[in-house]
Amino acid sequence: MKNAATLSLTLVLVLGASACSKGAGGNEHPDNKNPYDCLGASFKANDKNDYAFWSTMTLPVIKVQPKTELSFDWGSATQDLISHDVNPKTDLNMMMVLFFQLSLSDLENKLNADSLAQRDLVISPPLTFRTNGATTAKLFSFDLNGSYAAPDQITLYFDADSYPPADYTYALAAATGTEVGKNIRMIQVFQLDPNSTNTDVKMTNGSIKLDWKANLHDLTPTGIPSGQAAVTLDWGDMTKNALGASFDPTQITRALIGHYNEGSGRLEQDFLDIELIATDLYVKTIESGTSVDFSTLQTAGGKSFSGIDDTGTWMVALQCGVCRNPAPWYLSILKVCK
């Protein structure tokens, strides 16, 4: 089992559930009324038109007894890591035990920096359990993504002498769907402790503490013609994304345009729900290239984008579909050219 490299660790903060999650710190900012230029029907993404996003995850840890059959319980997890509602019986379809060759602090740092890699895993594929409506399971009922794992084989990886707690961290991960590493909704971290007699790992709404901020008030809006669908955005020259990391233009897999009744100040507070609260959400999958024609974007019902107007708030966003943090790499407010 050791050192195989087949797991895709894509921690998707699912943006398609109910309820709202608020950003931390500060009051609602006024709506963005910054001056802007008309960039016409063909323009390039640039830093001054981009928003900024910051987030950090803290992982409360449970200490457990080594070399024993642990019991897992996720029945109390009724919200995911961004406070969206989940039904533990119907929405959490797969549980995974992820075993990282990382200290707890290194795991938190890599998770926040979106830099987790397959090499950080001790076991890949991970131990998995298809829930089928269950909300509890024993460690020895997990398998290797469908392949049987004997209890004595599993126990080898829960030996504190072989895997010192200071250098290794475990995580119970709950996912929607059964594709390994995808659509992870909640994580509960645990560590071996030779002095502990605890054998229970319970996942709750507090298993992850998420703090985040979105800044839409400092960006310069993007001016485009009113009522014109054929507008082209090119992001090929971008070098830094909104999270402050390197921008690889070829990693953009999705373009979105949303229309909102809320002002941009309110949207800062409701930012994790931008796909939920849009009055219209136009989407395009980017198969290749570094540009998109807005006229090719459509709603889920097949309605094509027909241009922006002066009502409400319009925003365009670019997402990296293979990244662990789904916050858009680029997002700008669209305004009608004056």
6 vs 172: CA distance, rounded Å: 18
The pLDDT assigned to 211 comes to 87
What integer pLDDT is reported at residue 5 of this predicted model?
Answer: 30
Kindly give the confidence (pLDDT) of every residue in the chain, 338 residues in length, as a single tens digit, with 9 standing for 90 and above: 433 333 334 443 333 333 333 444 446 789 999 999 999 999 999 999 999 998 888 899 999 999 999 999 999 999 988 788 999 999 999 999 999 999 999 998 888 777 788 899 999 889 999 999 999 999 999 999 888 999 999 999 999 999 999 999 999 999 999 888 778 899 999 999 999 999 999 999 999 988 889 999 999 999 999 999 999 999 999 999 998 889 999 999 999 999 999 999 999 999 988 988 999 999 999 999 999 999 999 999 999 999 999 999 999 999 997 776 778 999 999 999 97
Q: What local confidence, expressed as pLDDT, does residue 8 receive?
A: 37
pTM tops 0.85: no
159 Cβ contact list (under 8 Å, min separation 6): 66, 67, 192
Written as six digits, the tokens of 318 are 């670019």
Instruction: Measure the CA–CA gap between 159 and 248, rounded to whole angstroms.
Output: 40
Please answer whether residues 224 and 257 qualify as being in contact, where contact means their C-beta atoms are separated by less than 8 angstroms.
Answer: no
Domains of the chain, earliest start first: 42-55+211-336 (no CATH), 60-207 (2.70.50)
- DSSP letters, 115-170, are ---GGGBSBSSPEEEE-TT-SEEEGGG-BBTTB---HHHHHGGG-TTTS-TTT-EE
pLDDT reported for residue 36: 96
pLDDT of residue 324: 66
What residues does 252 pair with on adjacent strands? 320
Sequence-ordered alpha helix ranges (H) in 156-292: 264-269
Instruction: Report CA dihedral (17, 83, 210, 122) to the nearest 10 degrees.
Output: -60
Predicted pLDDT at 28? 77
pLDDT value, residue 299: 97
187 has which bridge partners? 173
Choose among 214, 259, 213, 235: nearest CA to 319: 235
Q: Token match 């070399």: residue?
A: 67
